[in-house]
Amino acid sequence: MFAPRDPRATVPQAVKVNVTTGTGMDIEWKDGHHSHYSFQYLRDACPCALCDDDRQKAGREPGEPLQPAPGALPMFKPAVKPTHTEGVGKYAIRFVWNDGHEHGIYSWDFLREFCPCAECSAVRSAAKLPGSAPTRTTPH
């Protein structure tokens, strides 16, 4: 797992959830790093136990989209976006999604660990051992 050395790395300086534009969430971290999360990425990375279990069974990493079954016809689905967001203490943010899901609490530590930028993705990939199981987001 990616473990930032600078203690400011998991403390947000500014958080902007772009619900109206549907472009996702931007976080400026106190160590100067900037993260952009699309709403689809956040929904696919939901850290709740149910979503974590589903990802494990499918062999997906947090943020990795669900692949359609072979031969399945694409169906129209409205774009994923939150209908409500709220802070959880000083350590996290919670979303209520337009698909009705609302159980994931996205801690700042979790969001920084799974930052989708190229630099952070490369660090995670380099640290992952070949053939290892998908990353768990809940204790197991």
Which band of pLDDT confidence, cut at 50, 70 and 90, is reported for residue 2?
very low
CA distance 140 to 126: 23
CATH of the domain at 110: 3.30.2020.30
Q: State the Cα angle at 20 between 14 and 96, rounded to 5°.
A: 80
Looking at the structure of the chain, the number of domains it has is: 1
Supply the mean pLDDT for the chain: 88
Looking at residue 100, its pLDDT comes to 95
Q: Name the more confident of 98 and 135.
A: 98
Pull the structure tokens for residue 126: 């380099």
Given the structure tokens 């409205």, which residue do they identify?
78
Q: At residue 138, does pLDDT exceed 70?
A: no
pLDDT attached to residue 137: 65
Distance, in Å, from the CA atom of 134 to the CA atom of 57, rounded to the nearest integer, reads 9
Phi, psi (deg, nearest 5) at residue 96: -105, 120
Question: Quick one: average pLDDT of 105-116?
Answer: 96
- Domain annotation covers residue 72: no
On the 0-12 / 13-18 / 19+ scale of CB atoms within 10 A, 92 is middle
Q: How far apart are CA 58 and CA 1, in angstroms?
A: 20
DSSP assigned state of 11: S
pTM of this structure: 0.85
Is 132 part of any domain? no
What's the pLDDT tens digit per position in 29-77? 999 999 999 999 999 999 999 999 999 999 998 999 888 778 877 777 7
Task: Indicate whether 40 belongs to any domain.
Answer: yes
